[in-house]
Amino acid sequence: MKSKYFSDPSSAVEAFVETFRRAANDPQIAGVMGQLKQMVYFDYTQDDPQISFYVDARGQTIEVGAGAPSGHPDVTILAGVDVGHQAWSNQLNPVVAMATGRIKAKGSTAALLKLSPVLKMIAPIYLAVLAEKGIKA
């Protein structure tokens, strides 16, 4: 796996999944995510076939899991693992990254723009998870 930040695929997936599980427990973030009523699949497999996870906000609770979802996602986000890391740590603006092709999206992407206000709120959670795991941001 080629990454500046992660030594192996499992550490990357664990960090992303734990970040979104914690975010789902934050009332403000969960409120915005829940309003989307979508499943988003983060496909970072261009760097390693094992690096992917999903966030499913279609039901009463927000589910987060490693790997591909069993159902069909409403949106698939395609990027490299380091681009994903940079986006979640506020080193990269995801909207600009989408406009320049560093992040690609398939499906109902208009709703994703509604997530913009919570991106800055997710970054501290992500950085805390990395620190707990001994991963340098």
Mean pLDDT by 10 residues, the chain (137 residues): 91 98 95 89 90 95 96 94 94 88 87 76 97 93
Phi then psi for residue 57, to 5 deg, are -110, 30
pTM for the structure as a whole: 0.93
What's the pLDDT at 46? 85
89 Cβ contact list (under 8 Å, min separation 6):
123, 126, 127, 130, 137
Residue at 4 is within a domain: no
Q: Is 1 exposed, middle or buried (0-12, 13-18, 19+ CB in 10 A)?
A: middle
60 Cβ contact list (under 8 Å, min separation 6):
none
* Count of the separate structural domains present in the chain: 1
Domain containing residue 78: 9-132
Tokens of 15: 């960090």
Residue at 2 is within a domain: no
Task: State which amino acid sits at residue 63.
Answer: E
